[in-house]
A and B are shown apart, each in its own frame.
Chain A
Amino acid sequence: MKKILALVLSLMMLCMAMPAMADGLAVGTYDPATAGTVEFSFGWWGNQVRDEVTKNAADYFTENYPNITFNLNAQSWGNYWALMSTYAANNDLPDVMQQDYAYIEQWVEAGDLLDLTPYVESGALDLSTMPESVIATGKVGDGLYAVCCAVNAPAMLYNKTLTDSLGIEVPMNITWDQFVEISKKIYEETGVGAIYGDGNSENPLTYYARSLGYTALWDENGLIPTAEEMAGYYQRLIDGVAEGWLYDTDKLAGVNTNDLAQYPMVYGASNEVRAWSAMCFSNQVAAYTAAANADGIELGFSTWPSTDPVKSNYMKPGQFFAVTTDAENPDLAVAFLNYLLNDVQGNILLRAERGVPPCNGTAAAIADEVGKIDATYPASVEYLAFVGENCSPIFPPLPSYAGTAQTEVIQMLAEECLLKGTSMTAEEAGQMAVEMIADIASSF
């Protein structure tokens, strides 16, 4: 187990090579003995399992800092950003907030995150066992604005009970053609469909663009792949719907793909509303497994389908913690951050639910304990080790227009191409994607 961990962590370094850091001012450390009673807020997005483990870790923190009352703010991904931006407008952000690799830049530009460099130098924030390349993922310009708290990778989970019963073997590094073949076979024999490319995220498109040899889907000016290349992606959606095995727009509207516990892979009374797989990230395995257990099925792991899985795959600095500029007591916020990253007992309570801890020391110290509590953890670590050997460097953080392009263009085109009997051709969709996104990029 520890060997695999060491491998994962060293591979992470290779996969996320980025520039080094700068210097700053000296700052204080928080001493609970001299401070009065304080309220401390912490906000994150996640799921029920994450909410529980985070609460446990916060409770344990108060054993050493008894004067603190926590104000915990757990949200779903869908509500989190909207809520946080209203807090930001009101200068009322939580002291510590969870951040995402894709959005850090936009929050730093708005001046909402605190530069942590001085705290690293004073020793209040100990990043000594975190690889330099992982630290660098939280940097914008010269400042360190967020600290990676977990590493994960895209993962395809599938209903192993179902595939086993049909005698289907789902390979690792599954290619697109294999995915189509398996999906067809399952659909023909059971009526269980597959969900791919629905409007929820641009991740499948990024994955596709990377399989063509690009590092990222977009840069400052718009999409990197050409209209013809984009058409190749949309053709997959149109073909899948025409062949029946892929969930079409109408069918997607009838199921809940936003709530993990109700995702058609792990929920649904009849085969027509079930899906055999889910494109997710490795840190969602614990939550999906809990839902699968309730449903009475076993889950299997593979990578997302791609014509070139090694080019497509990447290790992702999963989530970040950042201290906000609204924090009333930054010293305390940093102390809490340090606890979340380095405290062994705290990390056992967190159960590596967000992903494998990026501090080598912490990851090694908790491996056995967490493996005992959460049976999926060793499998996740093993999976990350596999991806580490079969991946390419991650794309840079998303340009600031990406979110808007996602909701206004990518989602719309996915819905059109996934429509049964759609009048849109893949060429039109590819052309529209390139033009509309370039338009959004230029007006931002």
Chain B
Amino acid sequence: MTAIPATKKKTTLGSWINQENVAGYMFSMPFIVGFLMFMVIPMGLSLFYSFCKYDIQNPPVWIGLENYIKIFTKDPTFIKTLKVTCYYALIGTPLKVVFALIVALILNHETKAVPLYRATYYLPSIIGGSVAVAILWRRMFESTGTINALLGKIFPFLQSYNWFSEGPAIWVLIILTVWQFGSSMLIFLSALKQIPRELYEASHVDGANTNQQFWRVTLPLLTPTIFFNLVQQTINSFLAFTQCKLITNGDPRKSTLFYTVYQYQKAFPAVGKSQMGYASALAWIMLVIISVVTALLFWSKSKWVYDD
């Protein structure tokens, strides 16, 4: 037997890895693995569970559309939490965006203290979603808390106001989300810097005052940013969890029960069996709702967002 002359160079690990496509796959591997493990597989599983009766401890049993039918026909809490979540999202989000815009406009000046202010105002957003803030918030609004102590100095009848009663309780959560306006504010600030100086100069020459400049120049040019913030924050509001779980836990009478917390209570009840299948079905319904709301926002885009 004669040896076949080596026509091809032997592939070493080094040369194999140096190939462009292999390197590409290697670099994107962390994302691909993470995406599969923590997104695609769990989502697939939850879609499967949503058609099952599944209590975590025992194997899932296929029941078809039963969970979905029960949610839409026999679950008043579903409707209630949906209302609460929409109220929170549709009132909290615009308030937050407007508040962020106002603060951004105030901070859009070149003075020495501005960087300090920006950092200070951004701080609540960094610590915002945390457990510590939620607990602090609860303490502040307790009937013997800081807020009532301060309010009581001005309005004595508010001294022992119960912020956690039905009605005001949801506003405690809305005020918290509005207070966390920092990230939207930073986006507004950078957008404000992008507006060409010439436009202001030109409008000034044409005799526009500051007020007119804001409505005719600043605001139209900010609409893409407002749109972005609105979409981002609306989705965040629909997915809000920590605030509700830790501050009110849905009390009183589910008047502050967010959809996500309801879902969690179904999946991990304090007593009794888990209804993971039911909770998964709730999650998929939420996905559809968020998609629809986002689609509506995008549909409205052509009506009010200035696009050049």
A binds B: yes
Across-interface contacts of A250 in B (CB, < 8 A): 162, 164-166, 252
* Segment among A3-11, A29-37, A84-92, A167-175 that sits at the interface with chain B: A84-92
A81 interface hit (Cβ, 8 Å): yes
A85 in complex: contacting residue of B77, B254, B265, B274, CB < 8 Å = B274
Chain A CB within 10 Å — which of B57, B77, B160, B162 has the most?
A: B57
B66 CB to nearest A CB, Å: 10
A437 CB to nearest B CB, Å: 12
Flag if B270 contacts A77 (CB, 8 Å).
Answer: yes
Category for how many chain A residues contact B: 35 or more
* Segment among A54-62, A142-150, A282-290, A403-411 that sits at the interface with chain B: A403-411
Flag if B270 contacts A78 (CB, 8 Å).
Answer: yes
B151 CB to nearest A CB, Å: 15
Flag if B270 contacts A86 (CB, 8 Å).
Answer: no
Closest to B272 in A: A403
Flag if A112 contacts B57 (CB, 8 Å).
Answer: yes
Closest to A103 in B: B271
Flag if A272 contacts B56 (CB, 8 Å).
Answer: no
B196 CB to nearest A CB, Å: 52
A249 in complex: contacting residue of B55, B252, B275, CB < 8 Å = B252
A407 to B267, CA, bound (A): 12
Interface of A, secondary structure class, is: helix
A400 to B58, CA, bound (A): 13
Across-interface contacts of A406 in B (CB, < 8 A): 271-272
Closest to A444 in B: B273
For window 390-404 of chain A, which residues contact chain B by CB distance below 8 Å? Answer: 400-404
Closest to B162 in A: A254
Flag if A415 contacts B58 (CB, 8 Å).
Answer: no
B212 interface hit (Cβ, 8 Å): no
Closest to B275 in A: A404
Flag if A86 contacts B165 (CB, 8 Å).
Answer: no
B228 interface hit (Cβ, 8 Å): no
A403 to B266, CA, bound (A): 11
The digit string for A65-89, where 1 denotes a CB below 8 A from any CB of B, is 0000000000001110110011011
Across-interface contacts of A206 in B (CB, < 8 A): none
Flag if B160 contacts A272 (CB, 8 Å).
Answer: yes
Across-interface contacts of A416 in B (CB, < 8 A): 253
Closest to A112 in B: B57
The digit string for B262-282, where 1 denotes a CB below 8 A from any CB of A, is 000101111111110000000
For window 374-431 of chain A, which residues contact chain B by CB distance below 8 Å? Answer: 400-408, 415-416, 419
A1 to B160, CA, bound (A): 47
A172 to B168, CA, bound (A): 41
Flag if B268 contacts A82 (CB, 8 Å).
Answer: yes
Flag if B165 contacts A253 (CB, 8 Å).
Answer: yes
B144 interface hit (Cβ, 8 Å): yes
A290 to B128, CA, bound (A): 34
For window 247-305 of chain A, which residues contact chain B by CB distance below 8 Å? Answer: 249-254, 268-270, 272-273
Flag if B144 contacts A269 (CB, 8 Å).
Answer: yes
A106 to B55, CA, bound (A): 11
Across-interface contacts of B169 in A (CB, < 8 A): 253
A406 to B56, CA, bound (A): 19
Closest to A78 in B: B270
A89 in complex: contacting residue of B57, B164, B270, B273, CB < 8 Å = B57
Flag if B268 contacts A253 (CB, 8 Å).
Answer: no
Closest to B270 in A: A78
Flag if A85 contacts B144 (CB, 8 Å).
Answer: no
B252 in complex: contacting residue of A112, A253, A405, CB < 8 Å = A253
User: When A251-B162, A272-B160 are in contact, do A404 and B57 touch as well, CB less than 8 Å?
Assistant: no
B143 interface hit (Cβ, 8 Å): yes
Across-interface contacts of A252 in B (CB, < 8 A): 251-252
Flag if B273 contacts A106 (CB, 8 Å).
Answer: yes
B220 CB to nearest A CB, Å: 45
A208 to B275, CA, bound (A): 29
A203 CB to nearest B CB, Å: 11
Across-interface contacts of B165 in A (CB, < 8 A): 250-251, 253-254
Flag if A403 contacts B160 (CB, 8 Å).
Answer: no
Across-interface contacts of A214 in B (CB, < 8 A): none
A416 to B57, CA, bound (A): 32
B248 interface hit (Cβ, 8 Å): yes
A25 interface hit (Cβ, 8 Å): no
Known: A82-B269, A110-B57. 13 other contacts (CB 8 A): A82-B274, A85-B55, A88-B56, A107-B57, A251-B165, A252-B251, A253-B165, A254-B165, A269-B144, A270-B160, A273-B142, A406-B272, A419-B253
Q: A interface vs B, CB < 8 Å?
A: 77-79, 81-82, 85-86, 88-89, 103, 106-107, 109-110, 112, 249-254, 268-270, 272-273, 400-408, 415-416, 419
* 4 pairs of A and B residues whose beta carbons are closest in the complex: A403-B272, A82-B268, A250-B165, A110-B57
